[in-house]
Chain A
Amino acid sequence: MEKFTQLTGVAAPMPAINIDTDKIFPAIHLRTIKRTGLSKHLFEEIRFRPDGSENPDFVLNQGPYRQTRIIVAGDNFGCGSSREHAPWALTDFGIRCVIAPSFADIFYNNCFKNGLLPIALPQAEVDKLMDDAKKGANAVLTIDLDKQTISRPDGEIVHFDIDPFRKQCMLNGLDDIGLTEQKAADISTYEAKARTQRPWVFGMTEKAGA
């Protein structure tokens, strides 16, 4: 996973609430076996017109927002399906941080696996950053994960909270599976115990009938 330490870039305003994963990455394009190159379908239905041309009203098609690195969004961002294609498409576009009052749980988890930092802040703080994000070429924010700060264009610092375990994984670009494999002995011990306590759940799918 790509590390996340500091990020300075253009923030785009997306004030709508409940921006769902079908909107971020339409289901029809889930028919891929790859995780790269997905930004071409990012926000497809609102980003492009039916004839394939760009919709000039959509923020990511406008001037400096073509270089968006940060999205400032409304409540419950990423609700809907578990598709990791949503964070894959966002990061492929160059977006490494989403700031919103809240996130849907599965999307939130998926972000951390892909070096995409989701920052949840109270509505009033998001409102201030939303105003900043509307400043076009001046809509530049700096995120410092280690210090847990967002620097606004006027220099004001906004602090954010983050789970310390996830923070360390992001800062160091740690591979979760590698970390878990270090606990192989614990897993084996658990399995041996569970086999005696709940033997009927072992070997289930290998029984006849599949």
Chain B
Amino acid sequence: MAQPRTLFDKIWDSHVIAPAGEGTYLLYIDLHLCHEVTTPQAFEGLKLAGRKVRRPDATIAVADHNIPTSNRKAGIDEPESKLQVDTLERNVVEFGVPYIPIDSINQGIVHIIGPEMGLSQPGMTIVCGDSHTATHGALGALAFGIGTSEVEHVLATQTLIQAHAKNMLVEVNGTLGAGVSPKDVILAIIGKIGTAGGTGHVIEYGGSTFRSMSMEGRMTVCNMAIESGARAGLVAPDEITFEYVKGRSYAPKGAAWEQALAYWKTLPSDPGAHFDKKTSLDAGQIAPHITWGTNPEQTAPITSRVPDPAEIDDPLKRAAVERALQYMQLTPKTPLTEIPVQRVFIGSCTNSRIEDLRAAAAIARGRRVAEGVRAMVVPGSGLVKHQAEEEGLDRVFLEAGFEWREPGCSNCMSMNPDRAMNGERIASTSNRNFEGRQGPGAKTHLMGPAMAAAAAVTGRLADVRQLG
């Protein structure tokens, strides 16, 4: 009887080429997603060494971080952004890498378009020079972010030298309450296990809550695996996964589909498979969450108050909370729903898919963005934008006073012109609330899309359940 294996073990075992040294292995990579920010130095490295891209047919590139989200026909104004995108466009031609042009309807955030086009499939190894590559784990793929040297390594060899991560199981069981979204689930998980709770591990998200969660919801959850330190997060592939992949442009068809499906069904963790670490949450106990601090573990239910550092025993944690509150300009014990916002960002690889936009639109419908608030909706891809427009969501947002933008990474990390100014406070559906990430002095509160829409229409952090 073979040793029971986890989903991660199975994908790992099927991709090991050879041992590379003590505890490290040469791992085969099935799909390499490239964007303009973390590849220029890698392509330059190839050029200097006279190397080629080994498998252009397993590589695809798109520009997403630097792309303006308005008046795209005017091109890119900011010279550094333009140079980075131009460099990618030159490199894909020189190295023969398939590229999705900026004016294509398929253009979008790399982690939105991979699953959307059917490129991301169960059982694959997927990498990208971007830590939010964990997103693709929602399909039951082993997907993780890598640095630029590793990007170069994959381009040249289609492999990576990796240490075997440990297995961690995060189980959530039960039904989510009304107004509670997958974003709340992952924020609650990170709040519980901390920003380093998954370091050295691959997390499998299991339990009935994930079994009944949509693919897009699972993507939101896996997207933020890295915010708990885990390079990869996974959900076992099931009928919801297969239904999602089926018929997408790059998905296998006909006999290949049947062959792939039979293989995918062997992937879920075996009963009794060993996890090095386990934790669990009760879905019924999860309220809508927001972050109040400057890292994603500094999270709390919207019904609570700003924490008081005086009540924290660990001196290092206390110092971190004090520093966070100072940066966020928050007073201990303030009810979270009394915190005003000046800006709202609905977008990013965490929450810019069609279900996210529907959830936000349901709150925006018939309401108005509060006075003094600038609210932006940035769809994750051209296809998401098109779908939303077919459904009339763009009208809902525009009539409520939101801006309806072109797809891209936008204000999540603000490499394009969508930047918070003068230390504005932002309700944001993105994934990181680090100091300065959304603009100089910007104060980020992370939350789900309906919660962000609620903040937009009330002008403060708000409990979406009160808006009905």
Contact = CB atoms under 8 A, between A and B. Distances in A.
A50 to B, nearest CB: 7
A208 B100 CA distance: 12
A164 interface: yes
Contacts of B156: 177, 180-181
A87 to B, nearest CB: 8
A123 B258 CA distance: 53
A166 B440 CA distance: 37
Contacts of A187: 17, 26, 28, 157-159
A104 B21 CA distance: 21
B424 interface: no
Interface stretch (A60-68, A74-82, A141-149): A74-82
Nearest to A165: B21
B94 interface: no
A84 B80 contact: no
Nearest to B297: A18
B20 interface: yes
Given A76-B196, A105-B199, A183-B26, A33 B84 contact: yes
Interface string B248-279: 01101000110110010000000000000000
Nearest to B123: A198
B387 interface: no
Contacts of A82: 38, 129-131, 145-147
Interface stretch (B55-63, B172-180, B364-372): B55-63
B151 to A, nearest CB: 9
Contact of A15 (B37, B84, B149, B316): B316
Interface residues of B, number: 90
Contact of B81 (A31, A176, A177): A31
A30 B37 contact: yes
A102 B199 contact: yes
B119 A205 contact: yes
B60 A205 contact: yes
A200 B159 contact: no
B38 A31 contact: no
Interface string A156-180: 0000000111101000000011011
B72 interface: no
Interface string A186-210: 1100110010011111111111111
Interface in A90-120: 102-106, 109-110, 113-114
